[in-house]
Structure 1
């Protein structure tokens, strides 16, 4: 393929069929993750905040390939992705989640108890405040960012500042940063009427306290910082809603 901008599929029907085919021929998810994901979609008003099953498999595969045994998650929501990381790291591994909303945190903890996940801890509070305070006994192998979008640049700067050579680190050398929703329905790249999501974004900002007018600007800042930072080997993957990938190099 010579072009960097191929038209992969002629219509939505083909795209759907190909995605389903790819999912069928990819590694599966444990039954409890299917069950809990379906529960969230059927019972939670803001279920769109949960990572999809297919994307789950992609990032789980990546974490397993990297040998991750310690994962830090910024943004827990209902705890589905924490359960996903728990499965990756195994009983001897550890998952730490930061969650702003105490109600979400309690629901997440209930899910951990239901499914017997004893290797997850949740710190309740604003991640912008809690992240600089973390003092893990060992550095994390992977940091997953899926919280308020306006905080992405600050999260990244804190990770870098707290993971310098010669100090007690948050993220180990060679560790991974995985950030979800970094393209925001393409609005980070094309934020005008030519993008069908443009009008819907304005309505979402007005209707919800979760989104803000600064989200697109902050995601662009995050993406540019990932690409320009000399200590990060970055790759922005234009799949799902955009997945920012970074490997910390010293």
Structure 2
């Protein structure tokens, strides 16, 4: 497990030991992701986030779910496993190479029939997604500079009471201390959410920070 700078390593290990662990499919996917993508493997969500995604999808009864930033498919499997009956997950990503791994593991996990993948820059492909308030849940874990665009695109399609989960909103804890670079980008986005009167939000210290947003 990756310990982030703002969480004591011993505490991080304890948390991991007291969270329902990934199954063999997810473990195998994590290993292949490390082998295939090297340093980029850090873009994969943590096992604790995966468990959380499955649980929140189940609890919310989500049927129409969107993921922006699929990478090799770990998070999409976790979401798909929590979908309500007749639920669907639409994934947006730019990489055919990385999502080819995702497709393989969707089959292994038995969720391929629940997922549609749309390749291309999400700011463009989202424009072809119906503008109706029908999305129940969205998980956004893509390029951080694009967060405001993705957030607004999903908000216009989010059902009342719908949920958006934004990953990496603590940026390894740097948002509390730095006002430049990636920290500044995320600070600006976090402030944008706080000013948005359409939502209620809380920033959870899970992994690298996960902002939980609910539309009124």
Shorter-chain TM-score above 0.5: yes
Residue 38 (structure 1) shift: 3.0
User: Match of 1:222?
Assistant: 189
Distance 1:51 1:12 in 2: 17
* Structure 1 vs Structure 2 CA RMSD: 2.4
Q: Which residue of 1 aligns with 2:210?
A: 243
Give the match for residue 168 of structure 2: 181
**Equivalent position of 1:39 in the other structure:** 32
Give CA deviations for 1:127-173 in whole Å, capped at 9, x if unaligned: 1111222127871210100000100111112223x2xxxxxxx2111
CA spacing shift, 1:112–1:175, aligned 2, 3 Å: same
Distance 1:159 1:184 in 2: 22
Tell me, which stretches of 5 or more residues in structure 2 are unaligned? 1-5
Residue number in structure 2 paired with 1:232: 199
Answer 1 or 2: higher relative contact order, Cα 8 Å, separation at least 6: 2
By how many angstroms is 1:216 displaced? 2.6
Question: Which consecutive segments of 4 or more residues in structure 1 shift more than 6 A?
Answer: none
Instruction: Give the structure-1-normalised TM-score.
Output: 0.75
Q: Which of 124, 129, 137 matches 1:129?
A: 124
Distance 1:91 1:35 in 2: 27
Taking the aligned partners of 1:31 and 1:173, their CA distance within structure 2 comes to 36
Q: 1:80 to 1:171 in 2, by over 3 A?
A: same
